[in-house]
Structure 1
Amino acid sequence: MASNILESITAQYHSLTRSGKKLADYIFAHTGEAQYFSISTLAENSGVSEASITRFCHGLGLAGYNDFKLALAKTDHVTDMGELSDSPQGIASEDSLNTIFQKIHKASVLSLNETLELLDENAINKAVDLLVQADRVFCFGNGGSMVMAMEAWARFSTATSRFVHVSDSHMQIMNTALATSRDVLLVFSYSGSTKDMEDTLQIAREHGVSIILVTHYPNSRAAQFADVVLLCGYNEGPLQSGSIPAKVGQLLLIDCLFYGFCRRNPEASAAARSATAEAVARKML
């Protein structure tokens, strides 16, 4: 393979299929933004199928689409700390600590503002309906998204005992296999494109379990299974995986769901929050 992915595409361009050339042309014209796309978004924007994209990646000697995104990100201009240098939030080692603080703050504010713009009141209401009516709510996520699932469980645990957090992907699919139509999955997946989560969501669909998905990509594979899709802001590139600003937007969504849930039965919620606060207070010195 050539020294960077764009050179490799150029070298193979004349041997590509018609759809391969169409995809290559799109990538050349949108190199900077394509690294942020899910495979479904790239397929929609470029006008080729997901299968064609997968074959395109394999033809370049890559294991799959995620490897392609990472290779594409490495062709962009990055700082010595792996941040995009043309981004106002890109951090370099030469930045002073105060400059780094300012950039982190700007990125977090950007994430909050973008998530707020994407908030759909009808979608939140529908999600709250499902949460209120559920016997159990399973909070799932893989990798960095597992942390967000735990945050949701911890937040709702102050007001109800019906939320359950399961971190291991095998245990997630086992719990889903035993779930009923009275249960709900609250799933966090920034990319919406991980195999473990897709397997779990497929089982949920077969058992009639409702799914609330928090993701950045409305047309992701996971979104195809969801009853409600809630979108978080902030473009997280392959080299910025696990970024805090991407999580800040998801925290906003968790709190919107939490207060939407509590306002449906304010007296019971207030009593539960008071009881849990008093219980924890005994552990404080």
Structure 2
Amino acid sequence: MRNENWMDNSSVRQRLTAALTEASASGKALANFMLANISSLPFETSRSVADKVGVSELTVGRFCRSIGYDGLKDLKERLKDDISDSPWLIGDRLRDLQQKSSTDAALARSLELAVASVVRVYEHAHTEAWNRAAKRIAEADRVFVAGFQTERGLAEAFVHMLRYLRDEVQLVDIAGGNFAEVLLTDPAGCTLVLIDARRYSRQSQLLAAKAAERGMPITIVTDLYCDWAASYGDEVFAVPTDLNLFWDATSGMWTLMQLLLNSVFAHRGPSVEERLNSVASLYESFVGYSRGPK
């Protein structure tokens, strides 16, 4: 039976956002997936959603009823008001690429999904959570960044670029096996940026749980399917990674992190230019650029 406790004027986005903290584990996973994939949700079915999230079709229907809809079909009907603005305003070069890809259905679908992933990243950048995370990363006394498995490379690149903007940025040591630098430091003035995608590292969830337990703010960059991120993250930025390719693609996650660096730069203010020049000068002294001074 449909849950009648919801206000009639609450939007689909509002109900899904509330479910991130109020629903069961499977409900949180469904809410996370629907929010992150909301532009293409009208084209999904109960079965396709169930397969992508890893739950049953009955669970999808039960979740929709728990947030006040008769089922997924009813939710999608109400969703029309939420996504009236179309993200598919593309230039001539993209149209040309679409036409070239039209003879290869798999490639054409991958292109659509890649564009949708970028759109989702820029949607994140217009939220209060985004501004809050960027401001904290810009102003915290210390910033820890952790990534595991293939996402370790994203973490390393983010740390490298963030150090151009500020000091006290540390890539979390995963070889020591204890994360003491994060968990034994005073959490006041510190923040943790955690990057992970399926199949998720056990260490990633444990680190998030322990850091949250100590009261350290956490920003999590992940994919659409992570059902534990909302339990620990002060901000969770979920990005589509299923681009119809052999491997899940984390390119959208890196696009998000580059955009986040841009926002951190804006929060740092004019003084950041001096640090950028200083770091570049040090690099020139120790390594050198291809057209640097002889």
Give the SS at the match of 2:237.
strand
Structure 1 residues 173-182 or 144-153, which shifts more? 173-182
Show the counterpart of 2:166: 160
How far did residue 231 of structure 1 move?
Answer: 2.4
Cα deviation, 1:222-246, whole Å, max 9, x if unaligned, reads 2210111122234367x84452xxx
Q: 1:170/1:44 Cα in 2 relative to 1: closer, same or farther (>3 Å)?
A: farther
Unaligned 5+ runs, structure 1? 1-28, 49-87, 92-101
Show the counterpart of 1:267: 270
CA distance in 2 between partners of 1:175 and 1:228 (Å): 22
Is the contact made by 2:139 and 2:268 (CA closer than 8 Å) also made in structure 1? no
How far did residue 204 of structure 1 move?
Answer: 0.4
How far did residue 271 of structure 1 move?
Answer: 0.9
Show the counterpart of 1:228: 235
Is the contact made by 2:183 and 2:214 (CA closer than 8 Å) also made in structure 1? yes
Q: 1:35/1:149 Cα in 2 relative to 1: closer, same or farther (>3 Å)?
A: farther
Show the counterpart of 2:52: 36
Show the counterpart of 2:156: 150
How far did residue 176 of structure 1 move?
Answer: 2.4
CA distance in 1 between partners of 2:126 and 2:175 (Å): 29
Give the SS at the match of 1:263.
helix
Is the contact made by 1:139 and 1:166 (CA closer than 8 Å) also made in structure 2? yes
AA at the equivalent of 1:216: D
Give the SS at the match of 1:139.
strand
AA at the equivalent of 2:205: E
Show the counterpart of 2:36: none
How does the TM-score come out when normalised to structure 1?
A: 0.60
Residue 220 of structure 2: which of 197, 213, 226 is its match? 213
Show the counterpart of 2:258: 255
How far did residue 202 of structure 1 move?
Answer: 1.5
Residue 90 of structure 1: which of 95, 98, 106 is its match? 106
How far did residue 221 of structure 1 move?
Answer: 0.7
Give the SS at the match of 2:164.
coil
Is the contact made by 1:187 and 1:214 (CA closer than 8 Å) also made in structure 2? yes
How far did residue 149 of structure 1 move?
Answer: 1.2
CA distance in 1 between partners of 2:222 and 2:136 (Å): 18
Cα deviation, 1:119-172, whole Å, max 9, x if unaligned, reads 442111110232133221111111122121112111201111221112526546
Give the SS at the match of 1:161.
coil
Cα deviation, 1:184-233, whole Å, max 9, x if unaligned, reads 11011234954211111121022211100112238621221011112223
CA distance in 2 between partners of 1:42 and 1:175 (Å): 43
2:57 pairs with 1:45: no
Is the contact made by 1:179 and 1:207 (CA closer than 8 Å) also made in structure 2? no
CA distance in 2 between partners of 1:140 and 1:105 (Å): 30
> Matched residue pairs, number?
205
CA distance in 2 between partners of 1:115 and 1:124 (Å): 10
CA distance in 2 between partners of 1:47 and 1:160 (Å): 47
Is the contact made by 1:142 and 1:167 (CA closer than 8 Å) also made in structure 2? no
Give the SS at the match of 2:278.
helix
Is the contact made by 1:38 and 1:191 (CA closer than 8 Å) also made in structure 2? no
AA at the equivalent of 2:60: N
AA at the equivalent of 1:275: S
CA distance in 2 between partners of 1:259 and 1:118 (Å): 13
How does the TM-score come out when normalised to structure 2?
A: 0.58
CA distance in 1 between partners of 2:158 and 2:217 (Å): 17
Cα deviation, 1:71-126, whole Å, max 9, x if unaligned, reads xxxxxxxxxxxxxxxxx6736xxxxxxxxxx8876654342123223444211111
Show the counterpart of 1:279: 282
Superposition pairs for residues 72-151 of structure 1, below 5 Å?
Answer: 90=106, 108-151=114-157
Residue 189 of structure 1: which of 196, 203, 225 is its match? 196
Cα deviation, 1:38-82, whole Å, max 9, x if unaligned, reads 66x98962648xxxxxxxxxxxxxxxxxxxxxxxxxxxxxxxxxx
Give the SS at the match of 2:270.
helix
CA distance in 1 between partners of 2:279 and 2:178 (Å): 26
Is the contact made by 2:194 and 2:219 (CA closer than 8 Å) also made in structure 1? yes
